[in-house]
Structure 1
Amino acid sequence: MPTIRPSSDLRNKYNEISDFCHKYAEPVYITKNGQGDLAVMSIETYEKLVGKFELYKLLDEGMDAVKEKRVRSFREALHDIQKDFVK
């Protein structure tokens, strides 16, 4: 169940919100006038989330390459990598 707090808590109870975000590695949803406004999370949680998005993007690109037959064998790829290091 998400943690939802009013915007006044962000100002008045910042340390409590920060401790929660670090302890549980999940966002706290901040409301403004009763409506959802922000999601607050630790830097560590944010970086993990961004890393997952980057990984999903790369996997999606790989799946597209397979569909479009823009692939080569592992041996060919390894050969090209080794060739670059031998120069």
Structure 2
Amino acid sequence: MPRIIPIRDLKNTSEISQMCHASNEPIFITKNGYGDMVIMSMKIYEEKMFMLDVYSKLIASEEQLAEGKVLDGDASLKSIREKYNV
């Protein structure tokens, strides 16, 4: 369940830091009852960004498959081996 805290609680920086590191999800900050910011630990941020990159590459790959933009694996490996004398 997402954690939601008011912006005035940000003055407790060490407590907020502990919450960020203890949670696997972002913490939502509200201002005057409305969403204002989102914070999370660097570790979770990097993991989320990595997965976002993976998903975007998968989507691009699926689009290429749907358009028929595929290569023959054996021919590609043979070409690479010839090019680099492997």
Give yes or no for TM over 0.5.
Answer: yes
Q: Which runs of 5+ in 2 are unaligned?
A: none
Label 1:36 to 1:76 Cα distance change in 2 as closer, same or farther (>3 A).
same
Residue 6 (str. 1) matches residue 16 (str. 2):
no
Residues in 2 aligned to 1:21 and 1:15: alpha-carbon distance in whole angstroms? 10
Shift of 1:25: 2.3
Shift of 1:15: 1.1
How many residues align? The count is 86
The equivalent residue for 2:37 is 38
Shift of 1:16: 1.0
Q: Which runs of 5+ in 1 are unaligned?
A: none
Greater mean deviation of Cα atoms: 60-69 or 12-21: 12-21
Provide TM-score, normalisation by structure 2.
0.86
Q: Show CA shifts across 1:24-64 (max 9, x none).
A: 22211000111011110011111111111111111011101
Aligned residue type for 1:4: I
Shift of 1:84: 4.5
Residue 65 (str. 1) matches residue 70 (str. 2):
no
Shift of 1:72: 1.0
Matches within 5 A, 1:68-87: 68-86=67-85
Structural RMSD (CA): 1.7
Percent identical residues: 35
Residue 55 (str. 1) matches residue 49 (str. 2):
no
Residues in 2 aligned to 1:65 and 1:7: alpha-carbon distance in whole angstroms? 45
Shift of 1:21: 1.2
Label 1:16 to 1:64 Cα distance change in 2 as closer, same or farther (>3 A).
same
